[in-house]
Structure 1
Amino acid sequence: MNSAERSSVFSIAGIYGLRMLGLFLILPVFALYAEGLEGVTPTLIGLALGIYGFTMAMLQIPFGWLSDRIGRKPVIAAGLLIFAVGSVVAAMADSIWMVIIGRALQGSGAIAAAMMALLADLTREEVRTKAMAVVGMTIGMSFTVALIAGPMLSTWVGVDGIFWFTALFALLSIAVLYLLVPDPDHLSMHRDVEAVPGEFGRILKDGQLLRLDFGIMILHGIIMSLFIALPFVLRDHLDIPAVDHPWVYLPVLLVAIAFMVPLIIVAEKKEKMKQVFLLSISMIALSCLLLGLWHDSMVPVMAALLLFFIAYNVLEATLPSLISRMAPIDAKGTAMGVYSTSQFFGAFIGGAVGGWCYGQFDVQGVFFGAGSLALLWLIVAYGMKMPVMRSSVMAHVDSDVDALALEMDILKLAGVFEAKVVPEENAIFLRVDKKLYNADALAALLKPEMTGQAVEG
């Protein structure tokens, strides 16, 4: 990346990180805090945790489309302002219903799609995969930091104070957006990161993609439901004060990251993706079973959390990669949009259903319910066909080419397995075997008036 791209990418990643940190900070502490709110029930605790996912799922793609028409920054700034207002409402709430309204408003600031479009506007195709990886790592770090910092902050400033900090993070993000993120030269449609309305039918008919969408929905439903029960397990069953909960999560998360890396290497480099994928889902199910059976004992709880977070980290890293490899080469953005919507909707379902399970069956009901969902996911995923490990490539082309003829010629090149020419976007999308593919051969095929620099995505 050049200096302008680095500045853009790290600034946008910072906005992502601050926003997600604000959402994640209350996860490990909200269930305990909500006990003191007026009108609280276990179901409403879960609804308050997960409601942001519903509004975010409903609005993220429309916000992305709106940014194509009126500009990225106005949409992102408006979303951050809505997020800040929701945080203030939650901070000032004295009833569970006011918190629910505040959390719903937080999710209504659904800027993920608009942010990705802005990132694409400000980066060249050949560095876009790296840029998206930086954003992904920032979100992952935000989750880890939140599990440690949330209980500490709640002790110092209370959960209402965390909501005030979240509002401040949103306002700081608006400042970063206008002071540090450059204005794009022009707005473009980027099929590799944006949802295209006409492609939804094709994506929603793809059974393999739907398995992955179902999986991310279940995964985020499980983690949301677990954080309804875990704070009570640590406080009431293991007699660990809330202020000391970070010292439970910290070693588990560090060890989980250390184990995650070799598993991903085995999956990617040794081409054992399906085996690692199914193993990780099985670990999720086993961890929930352990928590359901032995949540009164420290060793089983720590073992279960370790298994869970190893598997969670592996699945969070591999699921987007699988979506990218399985999606039609010219509709990856649409596939990722459906995937993200499923993820947010899973958080909503997990919160609402997990809260109900806690109210009806106590913590073991939450854990056994989550384990049952993991087993269902394992059954669904077992029949999934893993994609061949091929890379996505983009190249530029003039708008007046014969798309069909050019596609046929490109498919004759060594290492090219799929080709789609989209003249109206001056783009060629390829799926290739990097060991056989030669970018110079594509450049030689393209006419002199075309720009033949192929870029990997």
Structure 2
Amino acid sequence: MQDPYSERMNASETRAASGLALVFAFRMLGMFMVLPVLATYGTDLQGATPALIGLAIGAYGLTQAVLQIPFGMLSDRIGRLPVIYFGLVIFAAGAALAASADSIWGVIAGRVLQGAGAISAAVMALLSDLTREQHRTKAMALIGMSIGVSFAVAMVVGPLLTRAFGLSGLFWVTAAMALAGIGVVATLPRAHRHIHHRESGVAGQALWPTLRHPDLLRLDFSILALHAILMASFVALPLALVSEAGLAREQHWWVYLTALVVGFFGMVPFIIYGEKKRQMRRVVLGAVAALLCVELFFLGLGDRLWSLVVGMILFFTAFNLLEASLPSLISKVAPAGGKGTAMGVYSTSQFLGAGAGGILGGWLFQTGGLGLVFGGCAVLCALWLLVTWRMQEPPYVTGLRLPLSELALGNPQLAEDMLAVPGVSDALIIGDEAVAYLKVDMQILDREALDRLVA
């Protein structure tokens, strides 16, 4: 039996994790590169209004939210690769439609079609098929890292590409990256079997308990609010740099680069503090309060270049901190065997927030200008703070999925015996999969006692 605590991936697993991380990065680059430029360059499109530009910014999130869980379930039935190939083709077609459009409605249609290529769940399921149990968390972390890096790159490269090739050229580059993603998937190792993995896919029987879990709901609202604030703010911030600070739209890239780099390093000490001292609740509440202060700062002082740069540094410090912390909290709070379902609901909430934030930001700007956008974001931050205030300190546990021997499966009290092992806080036995899903505190886990029960 493979050692569940081994830390080295083999060459096939490394290639699979790296390739799928690259596919994620290509897609997310295509999603995010328009974020810093659409508010300024979109005004050149026929029929453009602030409200419609906001809809174009957030439109992809609406179809992503609706389709990502169904596409994940479809991949269980017809296979991962057909769903992933189809999703990337749809994404490329949406980018091509937006690139060919000369009106805002054409760009909106293209963004909606881009979002319909909702392959996140299918990619994560394929990752489960191609990696062994003991390395899956590491492989998923690599994908999470690729998403973060792609966001940072998109915020800088988007303005540079648009400056060189225009908004149409930016969408053509996005289409090319989606097609390149198809080539990457074609080179991946082939899975010998599909693994129904409750830690990386949605389980129907776990959906209702997930939707009733108070702290999981608070985290779902948190990611919804975070991405709504991001999208709404980026309806306003590029326009503020032009109209309030007098910075030409071709020069915005250096502002985003400065804010992202400083913001990334600024969030690291808080992550370390929260995990080492087991104070993640305090860190999350502090970051939400910081976002509230930043939006109020933009509202009162966002009329000069220096204040917008300082505000964006603080914004991205808090945003990066929350973007990194919230998925970790989902993993900690979700019950044994429920992480995949919890992450599915969480991701759906994230995309709903992106769609709603773009629409809300555009409507608020059209109604009352920059001040109303920043004020609306501040109100959402205050509501978010109230929602999360009663969140409990999460358990500092890690999820494990351990294959069970026939002898272990014959033990009718296996779950109770596992819960008696020091460090095990939750256990779920799934006989059909011949596995045990556990939540364990690695600092106090008695690994030898657990291995005896499993074998």
Q: Please give the range of the TM-score, normalised by the shorter of the 2 chains.
A: over 0.9
**What RMSD, in angstroms, separates the aligned Cα atoms of the two structures?**
1.2
What stretches of structure 2 of length at least 5 have no aligned partner? 1-8
Report if aligned partners of 2:280, 2:394 keep a CA contact under 8 Å in 1: no
Runs of 4+ in 1 over 6 A off after TM superposition: none
Q: Deviation string for 1:325-346 (max 9, x for gaps)?
A: 1111111100000000000000
Verify: 1:193 aligned to 2:200, yes or no: yes
Verify: 1:264 aligned to 2:264, yes or no: no
Match of 1:397 among 404, 410, 416: 404
Q: Distance in 2 between matches of 1:302 and 1:145?
A: 18
Cα displacement (A) at 1:47: 0.6
Q: Which residue of 1 aligns with 2:176?
A: 168
TM-score for both structures, normalised by structure 1: 0.96
Match of 1:284 among 276, 288, 291: 291
Verify: 1:31 aligned to 2:16, yes or no: no
Q: Distance in 1 between matches of 2:406 and 2:177?
A: 43
Match of 2:211 among 200, 204, 209: 204
Change (3 A) 1:436 1:48: same
Q: Distance in 1 between matches of 2:339 and 2:82?
A: 25
Verify: 1:157 aligned to 2:165, yes or no: yes
Cα displacement (A) at 1:404: 4.6
Supply the AA of the counterpart residue of 2:19: S
Match of 2:115 among 107, 119, 125: 107
Supply the AA of the counterpart residue of 2:23: I
Q: Which residue of 2 aligns with 1:215?
A: 222
Match of 2:135 among 124, 127, 131: 127
Q: Deviation string for 1:231-255 (max 9, x for gaps)?
A: 1111111111111111111122111
Report if aligned partners of 1:326, 1:387 keep a CA contact under 8 Å in 2: yes
Q: Distance in 2 between matches of 1:442 and 1:380?
A: 38
TM-score for both structures, normalised by structure 2: 0.96
Supply the AA of the counterpart residue of 1:63: F
Q: Distance in 2 between matches of 1:235 and 1:50?
A: 21
In the alignment of these two chains, the number of paired residues is 446
Verify: 1:413 aligned to 2:417, yes or no: no
What stretches of structure 1 of length at least 5 have no aligned partner? 447-451, 453-457
Determine helix, strand or coil for the equivalent of 2:438: strand
Verify: 1:335 aligned to 2:335, yes or no: no
Q: Distance in 2 between matches of 1:190 and 1:403?
A: 22
Q: Which residue of 1 aligns with 2:369?
A: 362
Determine helix, strand or coil for the equivalent of 1:183: coil
Determine helix, strand or coil for the equivalent of 1:35: helix
Cα displacement (A) at 1:40: 1.5
- Point out the more displaced range, 383-392 or 46-55: 383-392
Match of 1:241 among 244, 248, 252: 248
Q: Which residue of 2 aligns with 1:371?
A: 378
Matches within 5 A, 1:446-457: 446=454, 452=455
Cα displacement (A) at 1:302: 1.8
Report if aligned partners of 1:399, 1:423 keep a CA contact under 8 Å in 2: no
Match of 2:62 among 43, 54, 70: 54
Q: Which residue of 1 aligns with 2:257?
A: 250
Q: Distance in 2 between matches of 1:403 and 1:116?
A: 32
State the identity %: 46
Cα displacement (A) at 1:398: 4.2
Q: Distance in 2 between matches of 1:403 and 1:278?
A: 44
Q: Distance in 1 between matches of 2:29 and 2:12?
A: 25
Report if aligned partners of 2:223, 2:346 keep a CA contact under 8 Å in 1: yes
Match of 2:78 among 41, 57, 70: 70
